Amino acid sequence: MYCPYCGEKLALVLHDQEGLIPYCKNCGEYRFPQFATAVSMVVTNRAKDKIMLAKHKGQDDYILIAGYIKKGETAEKTVTREFREETKLNVVKYKYMSSRYHESHNVLMLNFLVIAENGEPVIDQAELEEVMWFSPEEALEHIRKDSDAEHFLKNALPELKNKF
């Protein structure tokens, strides 16, 4: 690990409250590890009886619609922007659900439950192969197994019965 500001090799130094934290002795500053942040969306329709899943090019199984948060952007803004970019549909309502750190991509995923406006999604063909509406049971069958998407979907489905 190297200092992102000066390039000095970082050493783990005991921080009063945080335990062992990478420290740059050149800058005299703790350098907390950096990671990306992204939103992931469990998208439902107004009737809350369908779930939208996406399939990426070259993949067999489905995942949730997701996207990186741009620097300076709020997670809430990313939800509405990213969903519109990927489906050409608008977000009617959203609610934050939970988060999970994804090690291999070094990204903290923030999961939202999203109600989309009625209509057929028009996808960005450069990124996605297909976006489809499923019943909640079908969505559980088709979602990528042991993925963050599956974890978030299972967590969000009981919430469909509640008003939000």
Contact 139, 69 (CB under 8 A): no
- The verdict on 157 binding Zn ion (CB under 5 A) reads no
Stretch that binds Zn ion, among 7-15, 40-48, 52-60, 102-110 (CB under 5 A): 7-15
- The verdict on 3 binding Zn ion (CB under 5 A) reads yes
Q: How near is the Cβ of 31 to Zn ion at its closest, in Å?
A: 7
What contacts 38, CB < 8 A, 6 or more positions away?
Answer: 66, 67, 68, 69, 78, 107, 108, 109, 110
Q: How near is the Cβ of 35 to Zn ion at its closest, in Å?
A: 19
x/- string (CB under 5 A) for Zn ion, residues 13-52? -----------x-xx-------------------------
Stretch that binds Zn ion, among 6-14, 68-76, 98-106, 153-161 (CB under 5 A): 6-14
Per rule CB under 5 A, count of chain residues that contact Zn ion: 7
Q: How near is the Cβ of 7 to Zn ion at its closest, in Å?
A: 7
Token pair in block for residue 136 = 């909640």
- The verdict on 106 binding Zn ion (CB under 5 A) reads no
- The verdict on 6 binding Zn ion (CB under 5 A) reads yes
Stretch that binds Zn ion, among 3-11, 56-64, 92-100, 118-126 (CB under 5 A): 3-11
Q: How near is the Cβ of 29 to Zn ion at its closest, in Å?
A: 7
Residues that bind Zn ion (CB under 5 A): 3, 5-6, 8, 24, 26-27
